[in-house]
Amino acid sequence: MPLDKQIAAVLEQFSGLPEPDFSQLNAADYRQFSDNLMPPIPGEPLAEVRDLRVAGADGELDARLYRPLDQANLPLLVFFHGGGFVIGNLDTHDNLCRALAKQSGAVVVSVAYRLAPEARFPAAPLDCYRATCWLVEQAQALGVDASRLAVAGDSAGANLALAVSRLALERGGPRIAYQCLFYPVTDGRCGSDSYAQFAEGFFLTRAMMQWFWQQYLARGEQVTEPLASPLLAEDLAGLPPTSLISAEFDPLRDEGEALAQRLQQAGVACRMQRYDGMIHGFVSMAPFVERAAEALAVAAADLRAALN
C-alpha cells in the first residue's frame, strides 16, 4: 500500500528537520525539543480532568485523571505514554487520553513514570506497576471500579503496559482484564525486517530507536529480560486478552506483529490489526488523520466491550 495521503502531508511538514547526531545527543535537550514539536490540540471536553500524585517504585509520580462521565464506579484504564522511555509526558498524550476516556467509557489515568537515562531500566516498569497497584488500592477514593481494570500504551508505553501485566501475573497483583497496545516496543535487538525496510524517512528511525535503547538500559545484556523485550520471554501464557495495533510503515511493525502471534500461540485472546499506509505514532494524529481516528475508535470499542 502507498503512504496514506494525510500521513504523507504530516511527514512533509517534518521533512526539513535535520537528523540529530545521536553520538553527541543530550537526552534532556532532545526531550525539550521533542516534547514541544507538535502544537497542542484542543482536547475532548470531559466531566473531569485533574492532575494527581500517585505512588511509584521510588517516590511519588505525576499523573492525570480523565473522567468521561459525571458518575462513580466507571472502569479504570491506566495509560503509559510512548517516547522511547526517554521523551514524552502527560501533555504530549493529553489529547489521546481524552479521546480514549470518552470513547471507551472508562476513567483513564495517565502515569508519568521516570524517564531514562536519569532513571534507567527497570525503573519505568516498576514505577508503572506500583502506580497501577496504588490506583487499585485508591479505587474508592477515586470513584472507579478497579475490578474492571485495563492497561494501555503506545510504543514504549505499550511495552510498559505489557510489563505491568507480566508483573501483576508474577506477583499476584491486580487482575487486569484487558490490554490495548498501540505499535508496541517488544524487542530491543532492533533487527527485524521492518527495521531494515523503514530505517529512515517514516518519522521513527532505526538510529533513533537504537539511541533510545542505549539510554534506557543500564547494561546491554538487559535487552533479553522479559520486562525489557517481552517478545523474548519464554512464556506469554496468562497475559490479559489484547488488542494490538501495528502500522505498515513502522520499524516496530514486525516485532509487534510477532508478539501478537506469540500471544495467540500461548492461548491469549489477541486481536491484531495492521493499518496500511500508516506510520509509527499515527494514533496520536487522530484529530487530523481519518484512518487514525478509525483505529482509535476500534481500539476504544474493544476496551469498552472488555470492561463492560
Tens-digit pLDDT string for the chain (308 aa): 899 999 999 999 888 888 889 999 999 999 999 998 877 777 889 999 999 999 999 999 999 999 999 999 999 999 999 999 999 999 999 999 999 999 999 999 999 999 999 999 999 999 999 999 999 999 999 999 999 999 999 999 999 999 999 999 999 999 999 999 999 999 999 999 999 999 999 999 999 999 999 999 999 999 999 999 999 999 999 999 999 999 999 999 999 999 999 999 999 999 999 999 999 999 999 999 999 999 999 999 999 999 99
Please tell me the predicted confidence (pLDDT) of residue 44. 81
Q: What are the E-state strand segments in the chain?
A: 48-56, 59-67, 74-80, 107-111, 144-154, 178-182, 242-249, 270-279
Please identify which of the residues 155, 165, 192, 246 carries the catalytic annotation: 155
Domain of 170: which CATH number? 3.40.50.1820
- pLDDT the model gives residue 62: 98
Backbone angles phi and psi of 60, in degrees to 5: -75, 155
DSSP state of 199: S
Query: What does the pLDDT read at residue 14?
Result: 85
Catalytic position from the list 104, 127, 154, 280: 280
Exposed/middle/buried for 199, CB within 10 Å: 0-12, 13-18, 19+? Answer: middle
Q: Pick the closest to residue 81 from 115, 54, 41, 106 (CA basis).
A: 115
235 is catalytic: no
The residue from 4, 154, 250, 254 that is catalytic is 250
**Catalytic site residue 155?**
yes
List CB contacts of 280: < 8 A, sequence separation 6 or more.
155, 183, 202, 203, 204, 247, 249, 250, 251, 252
Residue closest to 192 by CA, chosen among 234, 255, 244: 255
CA-CA-CA-CA torsion for 216, 217, 218, 220, nearest 10 degrees? Answer: -150
Grid cell for residue 255:
516485532
Q: Contact 54/60 with Cβ under 8 angstroms?
A: yes
Whole-angstrom distance, CA of residue 41 vs CA of residue 28: 24
* Whole-angstrom distance, CA of residue 181 vs CA of residue 159: 8
pLDDT (tens digit per residue) in 169-184: 999 999 999 999 999 9
Q: Which of 149, 120, 100 is nearest to 283 (CA)?
A: 100
Q: Which three cell numbers stand for residue 259?
A: 508478539
- Classify 62 as helix, strand or coil: strand
Alpha-carbon 243 to chain mean position: 12
Reply yes or no on whether 165 is catalytic.
no
Helix (H) or strand (E) holding 137: helix 123-137
Residue found under cell 485533574:
50
Residues 101/113, Cβ–Cβ less than 8 Å: no
The reported pLDDT for the residue numbered 47 is: 97
Residues 6+ apart with CB under 8 A from 172: none
In this prediction, residue 122 carries a pLDDT of 98
DSSP SS3 for 266? coil
Classify 203 as helix, strand or coil.
coil
Total count of domains within the chain: 1
pLDDT reported for residue 53? 98
Phi, psi of 151 (to 5 degrees): -125, 155
Residue 199's domain comprises 5-307
pLDDT reported for residue 15: 84
